[in-house]
Amino acid sequence: MGGEGVSQHEPATAGTAAAPPVFLMACVNLRRGGQEPSCTARGALEVLAAIRAAVGRDPALQDIAVQSCYCFGRCAEGPVVRIGPGGPFFHQVTVADVPRLLEEARRFQAKLEASHSGASHSGAAPPDPGADPAP
Contact criterion met (CB below 8 Å) for 90 and 9: no
The yes or no reply on residue 38 touching ligand FES (CB under 6 A) is yes
**Is there binding between residue 75 and ligand FES (CB under 6 A)?**
yes
The residues, any chain, with a CB within 8 Å of residue 107's CB and separated by 6 or more, are none
* DSSP per position, 55-123: HHH-GGGTTSEEEEES--S-GGG-S-EEEETT--EE-S--GGGHHHHHHHHHHHHHHHHHHHHT---SS
- In whole angstroms, the minimum distance from the beta carbon of 39 to ligand FES comes to 3
Residue from 80, 81, 83, 112 binding ligand FES (CB under 6 A): 80
51 is an interface residue for ligand FES by CB under 6 A = no
Asked if 109 is part of the footprint of ligand FES (rule: CB under 6 A), the reply reads no
What is the Cβ-side half-sphere exposure of residue 25, based on CA atoms within 13 angstroms? 17
Residue 133 Cβ vs ligand FES, minimum distance, rounded to whole Å: 8
Q: Which of 64, 72, 85, 97 binds ligand FES (CB under 6 A)?
A: 72
45 binds ligand FES (CB under 6 A): no
In the complex, minimum distance from the CB of residue 122 to ligand FES, in angstroms, rounded to a whole number = 32
Burial of 114 (0-12, 13-18, 19+ CB in 10 A): middle
Residues of the shown chain interacting with ligand FES in the complex, contacts defined by CB under 6 A: 27, 29, 31, 38-39, 71-75, 78, 80
